[in-house]
Structure 1
Amino acid sequence: MSSQPIEVDGNSSDEDRDESQSGEIEEAGDAVDTGAIEEPNETKYGRKRKSRVWDYFDEVEVNEKGKMVPKVQCKHCKKKYKHVSGGPTTTLKRHIESKCPKIRQIQGKTQGLINFEPQDNVSLPVGLCGVYDPMKNREIMARMIIAHELPFAFVEYTWFNHLMKYNNPSFQPVSRFTIRNECLKVFESDKDEIKKLFRSTSRISLTSDCWTSNTTVGYMSLTAHYVDHEWKLQKRIISFIDIAPPHSGQVLADGILECIMKWSIQDKIGSITLDNASNNDRAAAILMSNFQERGKLHFDGLFFHVRCCAHILNLVVQDGLSVIKDCLIKIREGVKYLRKSPGKLFQFGEIAIGLGIPTKKSLCCDVKTRWNSTHQMIVSALHYKSTFHHYADRDPNFEWKLTDKEWASASAVCKFLEVFLDATNIFSGTSYPTSNLFLVEIFNVKKVICDAYESSDQFLRTMSETMFQKFEKYWGEVGVLMAIASILDPRYKLVSVEYAFKELYPAYEVEEQIKEVTNKLKKLHLKYAKEWVTSKTAASTSRTSAVNVPVEPSERSRNQENFKAFLKSRVGEKSTKSDLEIYLEEPIFYEEEQAEGTFDVLLWWSQNCSKFPILSKLARDILCIPITTVASESAFSAGGRILDDYRSSLTKDMVELLVCGGDWMRAEITTKSKKSTILTLQVRQLSYLSVIFNMNINMIIFFFFSKQQKWKKIWTLKFQ
């Protein structure tokens, strides 16, 4: 006889059915657990029963065919089950969770709170059995402090401890010293996880920049950029260390080398992006020489040192803005004058309202070293152009009234700089590749400069002349990285290079420059092809060597080997094209239904990596190279928030922990959030398909995931 509880089926006795139907039923509004103190359920040996099912069942005896049979009866629906002492309770649990209608009714009426689910797959300190884990709770508090840049003393706040104690009476307060040590443990654990990711990454690109804190301590930020196994561009701040003055090239190079040695990624560095400064040029030269001596200089050194394009654009625009220096001074000082006094600003707003000008746009003052903030200041001033005129007539102390000619110059400059602003915004992205976008955008920039230089407006000609000289200084020759990356974008290929080079180079140099770029691309592809063949040969050799038992070949096997050798010789007679040649011969990728700016070049390569096995590896390593240092500069914003006037005594190790650890956690949450969103959209699309076609959900899943990515995109656009 089986020891498992067996559910009473439809052949149960009439006595059982009558008892279950006539039994007294509890009111639906009563809670399942009344909270009353009861005697613990015990077995006949006096041992306490630990299963929660005995809160819902009673032991009863039922007369069946003249015999008293022990059973268990649900307290709510009076359903009975056979029961064996000491047997499993799986059937009883199943009844509580899904089968009992009374329990479901009671739970539905008594639940008055919103059931919040954990977001971003963040594990909670409460396990599946509802057991409170104080160590897990401490770990989550440490992650909260790191991710949200909170002070360590946050765990000692009175009301925080009141809240935690209210939510769980078992909560034990911790000190700031304890949570500091816990943050160290979390940081080291996350660091080990990132090291594992780096070990599975073929190539890593770096960006670096320097910053001085409010305590006059110099810090250097180092950020790693790579493409993960899912073909997603990732970036992690791996170092935020103090640098002893002076910040010479040798000091910077030593700091970068020390960092990459700690992370064990010295053999995977493909490039490093730095600002355009003499010490950075010296540091890049030292690092390049070091990698070359060790034989780990990838891409033949073509892309090792990348100059920050955003910084160069800033230099170009600053030279152009010097032409309207006097006009900018008047706008800047006039805005400062109004913003200093709330009364003057209120009066300025009343004048604007009287003139029918919307006042939602605020007057902003610029940062002189950032031209995009200067552009924003000019835009806001032009919005209130007539207001400035009327206010200057009312306030005799306002000395910065612009003439009509100066306003016209400011308007022309504002319109002229729009293309620079668009290019800067595109170059500053960190969640998508930027090297493939450089050639097209920089072509637009030079075309605008050349058009202004050839225009009839003397002011624009004077302005564009200085900008053209600076442009030619840095981008007189387009970098090989930008050209090759543009070719590896399936939307452009060689078309972008041919079109852009006609504008960027003299006519007699165009063919030569295009040939030089394609030759270097073929050389890199050949190098990757040799490495790919070597890896394949090593893999096949290891599989062959695993079978070390000699077997006498049969006549059939010998014939098969001879036939395979014959086929191999015939294949060798016909010259095959490389995947690079096939890629360049195919037409460019174009999708009419795709919105502008939504194309994912890494997604395209992930879908075509089996078609272009060698070229996809090259594209993967090149497209992860950033062309700006924006990712490293973002660390300074976090550093400024952490090292404020109230926390300036933090040690340098703690600063690195909080800056790097916070970046890792935010990146992890963003990645999980994107995966969750994609999964939700896929499920939503499946449900739409099942409704429209009235098909079985299993067939829909097979149909959805077996089709090519192109069809999946079409369904996404149709039903999103």
Structure 2
Amino acid sequence: MVALAIIRHNYPFSFAEHENNRLLHCYLNPDVKTICRNTAKSDVIKIYKREKENLKHDLKSITGRFCLTSDLWSSPNTDEYMVLTAHYVDEHWVLQKKVLSFCHVPPPRGGVILAERLLGLLKEWGIEKRVFTITLDNVSYNDTLVSHLKKHRSFGPCLPYGGEFFHVCCGAHILNLIVQDGLKVINEVVYNLRESVKYVRGSDHRKLRFAQCLSELPFLTSNKVRQDVPTRWNSTYLMIETCLKYRDAFSHLSRIDKYFLNCPSEEEWERVEKISRVLKPFYDITKLFSGTNYPTANLYFHCVWKIQLRIMEQLEDDDAIIRAMANEMKEKFDKYWEYYSPVLSFAVILDPRYKLQCVEFCYSKLYKQEAISTAANLRDTLYGIFEEYKNSTSDICNVVEVASSSGGVRGHYVRHDDFSSFETYTSQVIGSDSSKSQLDLYLEETRLDHRLHEDLNVMGYWKSHSNRFPELSLMARDILSIPITTVASESAFSIGGRILDKFRSSLLPQTAEALLCARDWLYGVLAVHDFEEESLVEDFGNLCLSQSSSFVDED
């Protein structure tokens, strides 16, 4: 129990020897034999090894493929660590995420060396022949890493569709680059907003004056003003949103306070409103990327499409500065879009609410005449991937039994083995009598109304249709589990930073890995409260109430 507490709460091993901790144990049981830090450490390693074997056993039973994310992190003492995370769908058709390794990577750290290290880890876990994709950020050595893996004779030939979709660029990094390029063009407007927020937070006297301006605004439900962190564009967006709410208050303050010099002009306020509309879909998808629950890949397509649509709209804007911003963003968007657009498109096609018609509709808004041919190319590629899945599935019955075994029991009547393979039999008969494939049948069926099925669990849909579409459901399961970002790996780094902080920087790499991986396997990566974000928000609510009260007293 002491070892589990150390793992879960990032306590030092000396926690086992803390006087009050021992007093507590003695209070509960006067005959207790307390343990030392070395025993606690030994217990942590035992737990790690036990859970690793359990996870290895579980991974062997997974019928689908594994999608990976990986990234490098530098500890406080500048040691580099590589985290490897596996994403997969378990036997209950639930998307899972497990950290497989948090290993020290000594120099040199070129792409080829990292590729060999990665391959060694995959072999250790026994999944090297069952990998589908790997999601990496856009550091140059990752291109070498991917190229080496695809050419490796024991790895490359096992990748689906010749490894064409093996490498997925981290969407969060790409979107960050796009937004940062756009914000550079409108830096002066953003600067004025930032300085305005700093000004009203600068002293108690200024806060009172601004609270007076806020209290005169009608229908105001919140009085929180947010400052941004310039290096985090999403916090800049939140600052812009709150400033727009208080536009009239800032303007009024500029009229009554001669020292307030950074209030945006009317033209700049109009520009800020347009900027906010452009950044809204970026912010929405960033929230999706950063969630503690890692969503299925079908949820990203619409967000990315809205981003592209907003950029295209701003290219026609009357404001030259907005057009310049849109041009910068489009140039960066076009550079990276080709790397992950097929994956997002495949995922939304395999969402029964949207299918191919959604891709055709969205592309028609962007590419006009080329929309049909672009969608047709995606369709042909999807059929090519499906043919691979169909040819590689040698024993459909076994797959269906695994998929249906977790389907639950309806009512009180259970069909036993005598009738269990009926659905498999009918699907095979239909397949033999018809020239249409499972993918044909799926695409031709009427779409589910997305308005009535807004909260559809897409994995649940494919689980319930795995008897009708045995190979197609396996393909859908793998594609929908592709992580579009390396956020899962970065979450592990936030825990790594608490394990290897400045007080424990000499911890052995093997011990650090045991602590981090065991925590992930036993408890998951818990959400970390961001106190820095709280410090950026100023709540003028109480001051506004006091101002309102003073007005009542005067009356």
TM tier, smaller: 0.7 to 0.9
Per-residue CA deviation, residues 98-143 of structure 1 (Å, 9 max, x unaligned), is xxxxxxxxxxxxxxxxxxxxxxxxxxxxxxxxxxxxxxxxxx2211
- CA contact 1:436–1:485 (8 Å) conserved in 2: yes
State the TM-score, normalizing by the size of structure 1.
0.63
Aligned length: 493
Q: What amino acid sits opposite 2:485 in the alignment?
A: T
Superposed CA deviations along residues 526-546 of structure 1, whole A, max 9, x for unmatched, are 22222324566999xxxxxxx
- By how many angstroms is 1:291 displaced? 5.6
* Offset, 1:284: 1.3
Structural mapping, 1:589-604, within 5 Å: 589-590=448-449, 593-594=452-453, 596=454, 598-604=455-461
Specify which of 5, 29, 52 is matched with residue 191 of structure 1: 52
Structure 1 pair 214–328 and aligned structure 2 pair: CA distance change class (3 A): farther
- 1:350 paired to 2:212: no
1:615-650, Cα deviation, whole Å (9 max, x unpaired): 111111111111111111111111122222222221
- Larger RCO (CA within 8 A; separation ≥ 6): 2
1:487 and 1:493 in contact (8 A); partners too: yes
1:127 is aligned to none
For 1:601-627, what per-residue CA distance to the aligned partner results, in whole angstroms no more than 9, with x for missing partners?
A: 001111111111111111111111111
Q: Distance between the aligned counterparts of 1:480 and 1:470, measured in 2?
A: 18
In 2 relative to 1, CA 170–383 (structure 1 residues): closer, same or farther, beyond 3 Å? farther
Answering whether residue 10 of structure 2 is matched by residue 142 of structure 1, we say: no
Q: Is the 8 A contact 1:366 1:377 kept in 2?
A: no
Shift of 1:162: 2.0
> Offset at 1:462?
2.1
- 1:246 Cα shift? 5.2
- Structure 2 distance, partners of 1:382, 1:537, is 59
> What is the aligned partner in structure 1 of residue 178 from structure 2?
316
| Secondary structure class of the residue paired with 2:78 | coil
- Give distance in 2, aligned partners of 1:260 and 1:581: 35
Equivalent residue for 2:468, pick from 595, 611, 620: 611
Residue in 2 that maps onto 1:295? 157
Q: Do residues 652 (structure 1) and 493 (structure 2) align?
A: no
Match of 2:380 in 1: 519
Is the CA contact 1:332–1:366 (under 8 Å) kept in the aligned structure 2? no
Of the candidates 559, 577, 585, which is equivalent to residue 444 of structure 2? 585
CA apart distance, 1:483: 1.9
- Amino acid in the other structure paired with 2:214: G
206 and 573 in structure 1: CA distance in 2 versus 1, 3 angstrom threshold: closer
Paired amino acid for 1:426: L
Give, in angstroms, the shift of residue 402 of structure 1.
4.3
Q: 1:644 to 1:228 in 2, by over 3 A?
A: same
1:224-243 aligned within 5 A: 224-243=86-105
Say whether 1:260 aligns with 2:122. Answer: yes
Deviation, 1:168, is 2.7
Gaps of 5+ in 2: 401-428, 528-555
Deviates more, 1:252-261 or 1:231-240: 252-261
1:209 to 55, 71, 74: 71
1:53-452 to 2 correspondences below 5 Å: 140-201=1-62, 202-245=64-107, 247-290=109-152, 295-332=157-194, 344-357=202-215, 360-368=223-231, 370-383=232-245, 386-387=249-250, 390=253, 400=262, 402-429=264-291, 431-452=293-314
TM-score when normalising by structure 2: 0.81
Counterpart residue number, 1:528: 389
Determine helix, strand or coil for the equivalent of 1:425.
helix
Identity %: 38
Unaligned runs of 5+ in 1: 1-139, 540-569, 671-720
Q: Is the 8 A contact 1:366 1:376 kept in 2?
A: no
Distance 1:652 1:439, change over 3 A: same
Residues 200 and 207, structure 2, Cα contact 8 Å, conserved in 1: no
Note the C-alpha offset of 1:454: 1.7
Secondary structure of the structure 2 residue equivalent to 1:271: strand
Once the two structures are TM-superposed, the CA of residue 392 in structure 1 deviates from its matched residue by 10
Separation (CA, whole Å) in 1 of partners of 2:430 and 2:75 = 65
Tell me the secondary structure at the aligned position of residue 72 of structure 2.
strand
| Letter paired with 1:349 | K
Give the partner amino acid of 1:288: K
Q: CA deviation at 1:387?
A: 4.8
Report the equivalent of 2:523: 666
Q: Judging changes above 3 Å, is the alpha-carbon distance between structure 1 residues 537 and 412 closer, same or farther for their aligned structure 2 residues?
A: closer
Once the two structures are TM-superposed, the CA of residue 146 in structure 1 deviates from its matched residue by 0.5
- Matches of 1:505 and 1:572 in 2, distance apart? 36
2:301–2:344 Cα contact (<8 Å) kept: yes
- The 1:650/1:291 distance shift into structure 2, 3 A limit, reads same
C-alpha separation in 1, matches of 2:294 and 2:95? 6
Counterpart AA for 2:337: W
Where does residue 632 of structure 1 map in the other structure? 489
**d(CA) in 2 for partners of 1:524, 1:497:** 18
Q: Equivalences for 1:424-503 in 2 at 5 Å?
A: 424-429=286-291, 431-475=293-337, 479-503=341-365
